[in-house]
Amino acid sequence: MSMLKLPAHASLGERVWHYTYLVICGLIFLFLISPILIVIPLSFNAEPYFTFTREMLTFNPDGYSMRWYDRILTFGMTAPDAVRDSSWWKDVWNNADWISAAKNSVIIGVFSTLLATALGTLAALGLSRPEMPYRRLIMGVLISPMIVPLIITATGLFFFYSATGLAHTYVGIIMAHATLGIPFVIITVTATLVGFDHSLTRAAQNLGATPFTVFRQIILPLILPGVISGALFAFVTSFDEVVVVLFIADFDQQTIPRQMWNGIREQISPTILSVATILVIFSILLLTTIELLRRRSERLRGLSPG
């Protein structure tokens, strides 16, 4: 791992320190990644344990199984042991706890993301104009949902929603999650607008484009990477949020993180690990998408040579 070259004249002490430093960095990277990766093999455990069994360590196939993944589907079903035909799958779709939690999470996530992205992009366009009045103050207010502890937001929403009848409604949860996602949209879109060449829009106007055409043809293509990564952040924020849901949602409005929270607090079962594995794969896909978008954005804005 000698990617950092030592000069030829480095003393012995410097060499020893250099390699010690690399080992320390390696251990820190291990600390960062091991909790993410450890759940993957453990989720295939044939036994209801949270550690590696002797069979697993010797790569004995008997030590591994898909039973906890099966449990994601069967938990909450009316007839889990029936023949696995179309009616069994229908039972899964309608009754399995994790499936209905996933449905709720996706519905809430998609709508709150749409709301946050639409409002956030529009606001970012205004905020990045030099003439924007009270820019700093307004920016501070709009970013604060990311900074204020979730427990405070949840407490406030609990009082407010109880008084206005929004408690236990999907609309209420979607609005709350949109608020939590908005700071990310604003930050990512504003970042793509830094160094935005305003002569482009002026040129378009000179050539007779309407404001809407300017937005669609000039601005949107340039800020699109920022909009999409902001939207992904907003979606992940909603998809991972549990505190607000615990405070304002109805009992049967379960989401994936809430179901995990309940599972961990009541009786932790390895099913949680199989769900966690699926979520880790999900975040790997997201990370890849974000990285591709970032590169595309930098290329479009001419910040890096591709």
Partner 1 sequence: MSTTAPPAPLLPSNAVDSTGPITAADGTPLQTALSRATRKARIRAFLLVAPLLAFVVLTFVAPIGQMLWRSVSNDSFSANMPALTAWFAENEALGSDGGPEGDGIPGEDAFEALATDLKGARENRTAGIVGTRVNYDLSGTRSLFTKSARQARKLEAPFKAALLDVDEDWGDAELWSVMRSASRTYTGDFYLAALDMQRNVDGEIEAVPENRRIYVPLFVRTLWLSALIAGLCLLLAFPVAHLLARLPLRYSNILMIFVLLPFWTSLLVRTTSWMVMLQSQGVVNDLMVAVGIVGDDGRIQMMYNQAGTIIAMTHILLPFMILPLYSVMKTIPHDYVRAARSLGATPSTAFWRIYFPQTVPGIGAGVLLVFILAVGYYITPALVGGSSGQLISNLIAFHMQKSLNWSLAAALAALLLAGVMLLYWLYDRLIGIDNMKFG
Site for partner 1 in 277-306 (CB under 8 A): 279-280, 283-284, 286-287, 290-291, 294
Residue 135, judged by CB atoms within 10 A of its CB (0-12, 13-18, 19+), counts as: middle
C-beta closer to partner 1: residue 122 or 303: 122
Whole-angstrom distance, CA of residue 282 vs CA of residue 79: 29
C-beta closer to partner 1: residue 80 or 119: 119
> How many chain residues bind partner 1 (CB under 8 A)?
100
Whole-angstrom distance, CA of residue 189 vs CA of residue 197: 15
Q: Are 180 and 145 in contact (CB under 8 A)?
A: yes
C-beta closer to partner 1: residue 91 or 301: 301
Give the residue, chosen from 106, 107, 110, 119, that forms a contact with partner 1 under the rule CB under 8 A. 119
Taking CB under 8 A as the binding criterion, the range among 69-77, 78-86, 88-96, 233-241 that sits at the site for partner 1 is 233-241
State the DSSP H helix or E strand holding residue 170, giving kind and residue range, or none if neither. helix 170-193
State the nearest-atom distance from the C-beta of 55 to partner 1, in Å.
Answer: 14
Give the residue, chosen from 15, 16, 19, 21, that forms a contact with partner 1 under the rule CB under 8 A. 21
DSSP state for residue 166 in the 8-state scheme: -
245 sits in the region (left: phi over 0; alpha: psi -120 to 50; else beta) called: alpha
C-beta closer to partner 1: residue 93 or 197: 197
User: Does residue 161 touch partner 1 according to CB under 8 A?
Assistant: yes
Look at the alpha carbons of 39, 41, 44, 47 in this order and tell me if their dihedral is positive or negative: negative
134 sits in the region (left: phi over 0; alpha: psi -120 to 50; else beta) called: left
Rg (C-alpha) for the chain, rounded Å, is 25
Binding to partner 1 (CB under 8 A): which residues in 45-64? 49-52
Give the residue, chosen from 73, 96, 167, 273, that forms a contact with partner 1 under the rule CB under 8 A. 273
State the nearest-atom distance from the C-beta of 169 to partner 1, in Å.
Answer: 13
Taking CB under 8 A as the binding criterion, the range among 72-80, 81-89, 94-102, 172-180 that sits at the site for partner 1 is 172-180
User: Does residue 163 touch partner 1 according to CB under 8 A?
Assistant: yes
Residue 168, judged by CB atoms within 10 A of its CB (0-12, 13-18, 19+), counts as: middle
Give the residue, chosen from 72, 99, 231, 276, that forms a contact with partner 1 under the rule CB under 8 A. 276
User: Does residue 8 touch partner 1 according to CB under 8 A?
Assistant: no
User: Does residue 243 touch partner 1 according to CB under 8 A?
Assistant: yes
Binding to partner 1 (CB under 8 A): which residues in 54-113? none
Give the residue, chosen from 100, 104, 188, 271, that forms a contact with partner 1 under the rule CB under 8 A. 188
Binding to partner 1 (CB under 8 A): which residues in 129-158? 129, 131-133, 136, 138-145, 147-153, 155-158
User: Does residue 223 touch partner 1 according to CB under 8 A?
Assistant: no
**Count of beta carbons in the 10 Å neighbourhood of residue 60:** 12
State the DSSP H helix or E strand holding residue 198, giving kind and residue range, or none if neither. helix 198-206
C-beta closer to partner 1: residue 223 or 272: 272
Whole-angstrom distance, CA of residue 108 vs CA of residue 127: 27
CA dist 7 → 4, 20, 22, 86, 266 (Å): 10, 17, 16, 68, 58
**Count of beta carbons in the 10 Å neighbourhood of residue 231:** 22
Give the residue, chosen from 187, 227, 231, 245, that forms a contact with partner 1 under the rule CB under 8 A. 187
